[in-house]
Structure formats: structure tokens, C-alpha cells
């Protein structure tokens, strides 16, 4: 069921579909934002007159390129690289790189589109972009990953710069990949331009808390939601899907705040540990060994691993989908509601399908969209850029404090904007409207560009 849009927004949405055929994820992300803009176009007709919405839906620049590389046996492989520089109204394009076989233009465009509003919500001077490749780092040796990253950067470098475009990590791109990418950038340009990539190692320009930032930020945001109800994480049972960067540090912060995460997952299955997940073991498996999650149950008595199992069938108070797009569907949402889930916070980008989101809204489950709830990662990337610009390195405590302040500000802004536009408690509307208006005002100030 497609939500009823304002007729003018519906017409723009149809144009977006026609101009971008076959890009279902991008269409979904656009429709999600348009669903919140009905009141905005009534209150601010200038955004229609100036065609701000049409302009925001058209990336400023899209780069698609060939990435040839050789594996350890000498066989040549060809992947496709992408960088979509979506919107620079608020600052240089900023957004991660994703290496995953499912990557194609639509995935990068949906992520880049969401990034525009997310970055606006952080209050930092950063525009929106996203990139990546259909390369699969899984099962590849370090040397293979290095050769791929070097080939990828050999084209990408000419589009980057501290004041132009600053990528970071995402699925399949962590500290190892950022290292190889930065090394090649430095080699080609002969410039030690620290602020051209974020998520760097701590010895060479990285920021403390960047690794933890998305997961921690998500939990800080949900903590603010709990405070609205006079509650806290104390004693709350949580589910966190995925077991990558976002999931691991969301689990860590939930545990620090007194909650208990009983399950996490990967693309093959789910681990359930009723006593609460053993985070040290999880980190060892995922960060050190780079092994599959199933190993957890081999070494940890009392935990069960179910191959292909569905994490959303497990009863919980709070669900934090932190794996990938459209991982939580209508039937999952119905099951979560039936089992008493009261809060959903999106750690991943667009993990909840539109049908599932409606189930949560109908059941009055408090729902935090990824644009707001997972903005802590990019916000801390902007803090990394600040430290690079001032040749400074902040302490863990100071950086975490800044992150917590930013998440609290995003919560307040989305909460108050939802109220101002007549939909109290609707964080989706709050995030979309607050992010959109900030970008729209800057675009209007710049004239027709
Ligand atoms: P990682 O690559 O570190 O981890 C992704 C995790 O999700 C892996 O455990 C992966 O398992 C799992 N996964 C993938 N597909 C599925 C599936 N269908 N069902 C269950 N688990 C699955 O990525 P990140 O943690 O960095 O990113 C996760 C999400 O968060 C993405 O949507 C990303 O865009 C978003 N995000 C990330 C930010 C960051 O700072 N890293 C910032 C903001 C958003 P497997 O190993 O089997 O593939």
C-alpha cells in the first residue's frame, strides 16, 4: 500500500520514478521522505516554486567506474565502483563507502539521499554523498583487499578532497580498507591530506570514539526516547540484528547502561544467549578472527545458534535493527508487537520496510528512523575532520561527551519538529522535516545552482 501523498508531491514522485527506472531502493527512500513533507509544502510553498524538492532528488554528480584487480592466483577481476555526490548545500559531500555484492546504483543513491538529511540533522557543516562497489571482501586475503582498494582509489582520488568529498566506511569497509584507501590517496597525490577520509587509524589521524560512534549514538538516541517516558535502559531486554561495527558497539553501550542484549545475527543465522551476549567473545570472533557468528555457540555454553533463524521472533522490550536495508518486514514487526516490543531504533540505514513501519506506528511503538538514530557515526566523522584541521587529538571522554550532546540535540530537534508540524511523537516526520528544511534554506540562499 503506497501512502497518500499531497498531489504535487505525488507528481514529483512519479517524475523521480520515470527518471530513475529500476531503482527500487532509491524510490523507497524518496517516498519515505515525501510522506513527511505534506505540511511543509503547505507552510512553505516557496520550496515548490523554487523546485527545491526536484533538485534535492537529482544528485549533483554521479561517478561510475571500472575497478580491475588481480587475485592471489593472478586471475583478473572486474568490479564496478560508484560515488554519488548528492548534495553539497551544507558542506563537502560526506558519506561512507560500501563494499558488498548487492551494491548497484540504486543502493548507493538511496544511501546518498538519506545521508543528505542525516548530515543536516547533525548540525555539522557536511553535505551528503555515498559510494562503494559490488566487490565482496568476504573470504579475500589482506593482499587481495589491498589491491582492490588501490585500484578503487586510483580512479576515486580525483573526485575527493577535504573541501570537496570526504568518504568513510560502511558495510564491508572498516579500518583495514580505510588504511589501504588512504595509503593509495597519499601516494598518488603526494599530499598527507588527513581530512580526506574518516574512520582512520588512531596512529594516523583517526579519532577516538569513531569506531564506537554509530552504535553508541544509536543507544544515546534511544535513551533520550526512554527519558521522554520517564524510563531508562535499566533491565530492558534488547535485540540487535547484525554483528558488525554498528551492532557490536550498540550492544556495548546497552550493556553499559544496564540493559541486556540477548540476541544478534549475521546473514546466515542468529545467536540467542538468554544471559546476555558475551561482548568480549563477540569482538574476538568478529573483529580479530573475522569468523562467522556460529562460532559463538561452539565456544559458549548456554547460547544457541539457529541457522537461518529469525531474530525478530525473540521477545524483547527494544529492537535495534543494525544489519542492512529492508531486513525487518511486516510479519517481523507484527511478531515484535505481539511479543511486547515498545521501542525500535534503526542502527542500519532503512532496515525497516514501509509496511513494517506502519505496523509499528499503528501499535504506538516509538520508532526512531536511521537518519536520526544512526547519525552519530557521521557526526563523529565530522569531529574527526575538526581534529585533523586543528592538528589536535581529543580524549575518549571528551569525544564521547560531544557525541552524546549531538545525539541529544538531534533527539530534541526531531521531537520538537514533529510536534510543530502536528504529529507529536512521530520521529520519522520530525527527522525528515528538520533535515529537509535545513538543506532547503541553504539551497534557496544559493539561487538556482
Ligand atoms: P558491517 O559490515 O560491519 O556489518 C554488517 C553486519 O550485518 C554483518 O554482521 C553482516 O553479516 C550483517 N548482515 C548483512 N546482511 C544481513 C541480513 N540480511 N541479516 C542479518 N544480518 C545481516 O557494517 P556496519 O555495521 O558498518 O553497517 C551496518 C548498517 O549500519 C548498514 O546499513 C550501514 O549503512 C549502517 N550504518 C553504518 C555506519 C557506520 O559508521 N559503520 C553509520 C551509519 C549507518 P555477514 O557478515 O554475514 O554479512
Q: Where are the alpha helices (DSSP H) in 58-104?
A: none
Architecture of domain 61-192: 3-Layer(aba) Sandwich (3.40)
Ligand 1 atom 19, closest CA: 267
**99-112 residues labelled b (16+ CB within 10 A) or e (exposed):** bbeebbbbbbbbbb
Rounded to the nearest 5 percent, the helix, strand and coil shares of the chain are: 50, 15, 35
Angle, CA of 168, 122 and 193, to the nearest 5° = 35
pTM exceeds cut of 0.95: yes
Among the residue ranges 89-103, 285-299, 417-431, the one predicted with the least confidence is 285-299
Q: In what order do the strands lie in the sheet with 165-168?
A: 61-70, 76-87, 127-133, 93-99, 165-168
Compute the chain's Rg from CA coordinates: 21
Q: Cα–Cα distances in Å, from 109 out to 27, 115, 343?
A: 9, 10, 28
Q: Given the CA of residue 311, which atom of ligand 1 is nearest to it?
A: 20
**Interatomic CA distance for residues 370 and 87, integer angstroms:** 19
Q: How many CA within 13 A on the CB side of residue 23?
A: 25
Sequence spans of domains, the chain: 7-56, 61-192, 213-364
Catalytic residue numbers read: 130
Q: Given the CA of residue 347, which atom of ligand 1 is nearest to it?
A: 30
Residue 306 has pLDDT above 80, yes or no: yes
Q: How far is the CA of 246 from the centre of ligand 1 (A)?
A: 7
Q: How far is the CA of 324 from the centre of ligand 1 (A)?
A: 5
Residue 150: its pLDDT value, please? Answer: 98
- Residue 3's pLDDT band, with cuts at 50, 70 and 90, is low
**Interatomic CA distance for residues 231 and 78, integer angstroms:** 52
Residue 302: its pLDDT value, please? Answer: 86
Q: Is 213-364 in the same CATH topology as 61-192?
A: yes
Ligand 1 atom 31, closest CA: 348
Ligand 1 atom 41, closest CA: 170
CATH fold for the domain made of 213-364: Rossmann fold (3.40.50)
Secondary structure element (H or E) that encloses residue 272, with its range: strand 269-272
CA of residue 29 relative to chain centroid, distance: 13
Between the CA atoms of 93, 379, 97 and 391, what dihedral angle is there, to the nearest 10 degrees?
Answer: 80
Q: Given the CA of residue 118, which atom of ligand 1 is nearest to it?
A: 43
Q: Which residues line ligand 1 (CB under 6 A)?
A: 169-172, 214, 241-247, 265-268, 322-324, 327, 347-349, 374, 377
Q: Cα–Cα distances in Å, from 334 out to 312, 357, 361?
A: 9, 10, 11
Instruction: Quick: pLDDT tens for 373-428.
Output: 999 999 999 999 999 999 999 999 999 999 999 999 999 999 999 999 999 999 99
Amino acid at each position: 500500500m503506497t501512502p497518500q501523498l499531497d498531489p504535487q508531491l505525488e507528481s514529483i514522485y512519479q517524475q523521480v520514478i520515470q527518471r530513475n527506472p529500476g531503482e527500487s531502493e532509491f524510490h523507497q527512500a524518496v517516498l519515505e521522505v515525501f510522506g513527511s513533507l505534506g505540511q511543509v509544502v503547505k507552510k512553505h510553498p516557496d520550496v515548490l516554486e523554487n523546485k527545491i524538492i526536484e533538485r534535492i532528488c537529482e544528485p549533483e554528480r554521479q561517478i561510475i567506474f571500472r575497478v580491475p584487480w588481480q587475485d592471489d592466483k593472478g586471475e583478473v577481476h572486474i568490479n564496478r565502483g560508484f560515488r554519488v555526490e548528492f548534495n553539497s548545500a551544507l558542506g563537502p559531500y560526506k558519506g561512507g563507502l560500501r563494499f558488498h555484492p548487492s551494491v548497484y546504483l540504486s543502493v548507493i543513491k538511496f544511501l546518498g539521499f538519506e545521508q543528505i538529511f542525516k548530515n543536516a540533522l547533525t548540525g555539522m557543516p557536511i553535505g551528503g554523498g555515498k559510494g562503494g562497489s559490488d566487490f565482496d571482501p568476504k573470504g579475500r586475503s589482506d593482499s587481495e583487499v589491498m589491491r582492490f582498494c588501490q585500484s578503487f582509489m586510483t580512479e576515486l582520488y580525483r573526485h575527493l578532497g577535504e573541501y570537496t568529498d570526504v568518504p568513510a566506511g560502511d558495510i564491508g569497509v572498516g579500518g583495514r580498507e580505510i588504511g589501504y584507501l588512504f595509503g593509495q590517496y597519499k601516494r598518488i597525490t603526494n599530499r598527507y591530506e588527513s581530512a580526506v577520509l574518516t574512520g582512520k587509524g588512531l596512529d594516523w589521524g583517526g579519532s577516538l570514539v569513531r569506531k564506537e560512534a554509530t552504535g553508541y549514538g544509536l543507544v544515546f538516541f534511544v535513551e533520550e526516547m526512554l527519558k521522554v517516558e520517564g524510563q531508562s535502559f535499566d533491565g530492558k531486554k534488547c535485540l540487535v540484528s547484525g554483528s558488525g561495527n554498528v551492532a557490536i558497539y550498540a550492544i556495548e553501550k546497552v550493556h553499559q547502561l544496564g540493559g541486556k542484549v540477548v540476541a544478534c545475527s549475521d546473514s546466515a543465522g542468529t545467536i540467542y544467549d538468554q544471559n546476555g551476549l558475551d561482548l568480549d567473545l563477540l569482538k574476538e570472533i568478529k573483529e580479530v578472527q573475522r569468523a562467522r557468528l556460529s562460532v559463538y555457540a561452539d565456544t559458549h555454553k548456554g547460547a544457541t545458534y539457529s541457522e537461518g533463524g529469525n531474530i525478530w521472533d525473540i521477545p524483547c522490550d527494544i529492537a535495534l535493527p543494525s544489519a542492512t536495508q529492508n531486513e525487518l518486514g511486516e510479519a517481523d514487526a507484527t511478531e515484535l508487537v505481539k511479543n511486547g516490543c515498545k521501542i525500535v531504533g534503526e542502527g542500519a540505514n532503512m532496515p525497516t520496510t514501509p509496511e513494517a513501519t506502519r505496523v509499528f506506528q499503528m501499535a504506538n511503538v516509538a520508532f526512531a528512523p536511521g537518519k536520526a538514530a544512526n547519525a552519530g557515526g557521521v557526526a563523529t566523522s565530522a569531529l574527526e575532520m575538526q581534529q585533523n584541521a586543528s592538528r589536535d587529538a581529543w580524549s575518549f571522554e571528551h569525544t564521547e561527551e560531544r557525541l552524546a550532546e549531538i545525539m541529544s540535540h538531534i533527539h530534541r530537534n526531531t521531537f520538537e519538529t514533529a510536534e510543530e508540524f502536528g504529529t507529536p511523537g512521530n520521529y520519522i516526520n520530525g527527522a525528515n522535516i528538520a533535515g529537509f528544511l535545513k538543506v532547503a534554506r541553504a539551497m534557496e540562499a544559493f539561487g538556482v545552482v
